[in-house]
A and B are shown apart, each in its own frame.
Chain A
C-alpha cells in the first residue's frame, strides 16, 4: 500500500451481501409507488414543497398611479445608487413644475438584481419583481423602457427589513 490506499478492516462476519442486496431491492421497489417530487414546470409553477420566495428579486416593474402614469418623479436616486449602472434616466418637467421621467430605461442584462433601486426610491415607484421567465428573441429586447416597465403585472419583491429579519 505504498500510495496510501485505505484498506477497510472489516471482518468478514460483519459483511452482508445477499441480505443487503435484497434490502436495497425492496427499497427501490417501494419507491416505485411513492409520490413523485417532480414539478412539471410549464404547467405547474409551484408545488406544496416549493414556491418562489416573496423576497425573490427578478426583473423590474414600475408602479403607476390612478391615472396610469408612472409614479416616478425622476429624482435620480436609482441611477445614482445602481451598482451596475444599468438605469438610464432623463428627467423632464411639465407645466405645473412636476418632474417626470422623459426616458427611463433599465438594461436587464447589466442589472445585478440587488434591489437597491427599490430600496432607495422615495415614491415606491420602481420595484424588482417576483418573476423569472424573461426569455426574448433578441438582446435589445432586454432593455426595458418606461412603457414596458409600467406594463409588467407580476408581484413586486418584499425587501428584507433589518428590524424584521425573518419577514414576520
Chain B
C-alpha cells in the first residue's frame, strides 16, 4: 500500500512535470513550425534555437499585470482558467505510456491511474474543459467573449448530444468501435490487444478518420477554433484575460492537444507498442523495455502534435453553419451507421465464423473500411455532404 502511494505520487509529479515542459516546448514548436511553413525563421533568439523562449514567455506572463474587468463576475472569472486547465491535465492520468517498470519493490504500471473504467473516465473528463471556456466567456461580461463561450458550448453539445454523454458524439461513437474490438474499457487492455496483433487504425480506419476530425473540434484547434476566432471575436472567451490567467488557457489548450494525441496513439496506433516486434509486449519487464516503449510512445504522440500544428497553419476556419452541418449531418449519422456496420461485421466474424481478433481479422475489417471509405470520401470531397457551403441551385 505504501509502495502504491509512493509510486503514484512520484508518477503524478513526473507526468505533470513532463506535460508542463512538453506544453512549453509545444508552444515553441508551434511558433517555429508555423514560421517555417511561412518561409520565416520563427523565434530563435532566446537560447539555442529559441529553446528558452517558453521560459521567457512564462516569466513575462508572471510579471504582467492581472486585470479584472469591473463588471466581471469575479468568482467565475477567477475560476474559469482553472476549470479549463485541470480537466486538460486530469485526462492524461489514465493513458498508459510505457510498459511496466520493474523496481525492487515490484512492477510499476506506467500509467498514473490504471482505472478499470479508463475509457469512461476520459469520456467524463474529456469535455469538462468546455465549462472553463463557457464560464470565461460568461464571467468576462464582454459580448465577444460571450459569443466565444456560446460557440464553444454549442460546438461541444453538437458532438456530445447523440450519446447523451459528456463527450462528443463522433468521438464517443467511434470509440465504441474501438471498444467493440477491444472488448474492454481499460486502456492498458486496449493497448495490449493491439500489441498482440494489428493496430486498430487498420480495422477501424474510418473510425480513426472521424475521431481525428472530432479531436480537432474537441481541442478547439483550427479548422474548428470558432470559440477563439481571433478575426471575428478578438480571441473570444479569453479576450479579457491577462498575464498568468491568460497563460493558463493556453496551457490548457496545449495540454488538451497532448492528451488528444496520446489518446489517438493509444486507441488507434498501438499506444507504446513498438511495431513489427513482439519482444516488448510480454513480461519479464525490463528497464530497457520501459525506455524503448516510452520513446516510441513519445514519437507517436509527437507525430500527432505535428499534425495538429500542420493542419492549423494550412486550413482556414470553418464557417459556423458549416461546422454544425458537418457535425450533425455528416459525422453523427456516419459514426452511428459505421458502428452498426462494424458491429455486424465483428459479430459475423466473431460469432458466426468463430475468429478471434488477430491480424487476419483486422485485415478483413480493413478491407470493409476501404469499401466504405471510397463513397464517403467521394461525397465529402464533392461537398455533397457538407451542406451550407454549397448554394442550392435554383431552377
Which of A18, A21, A38 touches B41 (beta carbons < 8 Å)? A38
The answer to whether the Cβ of B33 comes within 8 Å of any Cβ in the partner chain is yes
Which of A9-17, A65-73, A112-120 interfaces with chain B?
Answer: A9-17
Contact call B386/A9, Cβ cutoff below 8 A = no
Closest to A37 in B: B39
Closest to A20 in B: B381
Which of B3-11, B80-88, B239-247, B309-317 interfaces with chain A?
Answer: B309-317
Whole-angstrom CA separation of A164 from B315 in the bound complex: 49
Closest 8 CB pairs of A and B: A15-B383, A18-B381, A38-B41, A28-B314, A28-B37, A12-B390, A24-B314, A32-B36
CB distance from A131 to the nearest CB of B (A): 24
18 other A-B residue contacts (CB within 8 Å) besides A31-B36, A40-B41: A9-B393, A10-B390, A11-B390, A12-B390, A15-B383, A15-B389, A16-B383, A18-B377, A18-B380, A21-B314, A24-B314, A25-B311, A28-B310, A28-B314, A32-B36, A36-B39, A36-B41, A38-B40
The answer to whether the Cβ of A3 comes within 8 Å of any Cβ in the partner chain is no
Residues of B within 8 A of A (CB): 33, 35-41, 310-311, 313-315, 377, 380-384, 386, 389-391, 393
Contact call B390/A15, Cβ cutoff below 8 A = yes
Contact call B381/A32, Cβ cutoff below 8 A = no
The answer to whether the Cβ of A2 comes within 8 Å of any Cβ in the partner chain is no
Contacting residues, chain B, for A11 (C-beta < 8 A): 390, 393
Contacting residues, chain B, for A18 (C-beta < 8 A): 377, 380-381
Q: A18-B377, A37-B39 are in contact. Are A8 and B314 (CB under 8 A)?
A: no
CB distance from A34 to the nearest CB of B (A): 6
User: Interface extent on A, as a size class?
Assistant: 20 to 34
Contacting residues, chain A, for B382 (C-beta < 8 A): 12-13, 15-17
Whole-angstrom CA separation of A32 from B314 in the bound complex: 12
Contacting residues, chain A, for B36 (C-beta < 8 A): 31-32, 36
Contact call A31/B39, Cβ cutoff below 8 A = yes
Contacting residues, chain A, for B310 (C-beta < 8 A): 25, 28-29
Contacting residues, chain B, for A36 (C-beta < 8 A): 36, 39-41
CB distance from A44 to the nearest CB of B (A): 11
Contacting residues, chain A, for B377 (C-beta < 8 A): 18
CB distance from A162 to the nearest CB of B (A): 39
